[in-house]
Amino acid sequence: MKKEQVWLPLQTVYNKELLVGDYLKEQGIEYYIPMTYELRDMEDSDECCRVLVPAIHNLLFVRHSYDNDWCRKFAVQAPLPLYFMKKERNGTDFCTVSEQDMQNFMRATDPEIQGTRFIDSEKLRGKRSVPVRVVRRGPLYGVTGKFLRYGGRHYIAIEMPHSTALLKVSFTWCEIVVDQRNTSPPPSSNSSVPTSNTCRQNCCAVRVPCCGRSTTSTTTRSCAEENTSYSTFIIR
């Protein structure tokens, strides 16, 4: 029986991610390197040009069936320094990313999307956030992440092991993603995540774009229909 394919975060050193990518291609192994555009001076010219470069140094993602022995052997036999990220420092299991989460990350890190930042995931530890989905028609339509505040600005965070992509997306372009299994009430008024439009008469307002025509309109959903409670979150 063929094992399910997953994505494995792979690290290298000395900014050799492109060389590792070439080696993976030679081995017939699918991989992904987040890229971004960078302005560089052209030789023998006063002009500059856009060049695609790795957005995250020393990090790649490899698509392969999960096999601890294969990971160890591949890392040892590779002609370049590389290693698969472990879930725990002294553990034996390696980090994995599902196909769905990887496709979400790949869409979010399209180099044609401007203004994306990449930071160490540890910097967001403890940050309050709201799970959202982009509902504004465009290249990010359907992308999911966490709406949060970082460095004085609001972003949608797409978290991966070791690194997180921060997208500059307006909250009015998003809808709150509610876990249907979680029927707990929304945060209280004294919570550090303030709420507005408190639910009354079994319904409450969630700010989402309406039919793509206005990003300021408010859509009201029935809590009975969704089997849960909504409220408009403001991350401060």
Helix (H, G, I), strand (E, B) or coil at 117: strand
Q: Kindly give the parts of the chain with pLDDT less than 50.
A: 180, 182-234
Dump pLDDT digits (tens) for 156-192.
999 999 899 999 999 999 999 986 454 344 444 344 4
Kindly list the structural domains of the chain, giving each domain's residue range(s) and its CATH number in brackets, ordered by start.
5-97 (3.30.70.940), 107-233 (no CATH)
Cα separation, 7 vs 98, in Å, equals: 6
Residue 232, pLDDT score: 40
Q: What is the DSSP string of 121-177?
A: GGGGTT--EEEEEE-SSSTTTT-EEEEEEETTEEEEEEE-SSEEEEE---GGGEEE-
Residue 1, pLDDT score: 64
Q: Are 5 and 23 in contact (CB under 8 A)?
A: no
Residue 127, pLDDT score: 92
Residue 165, pLDDT score: 96
- Give the DSSP H/E element, type plus range, for residue 226: helix 223-226
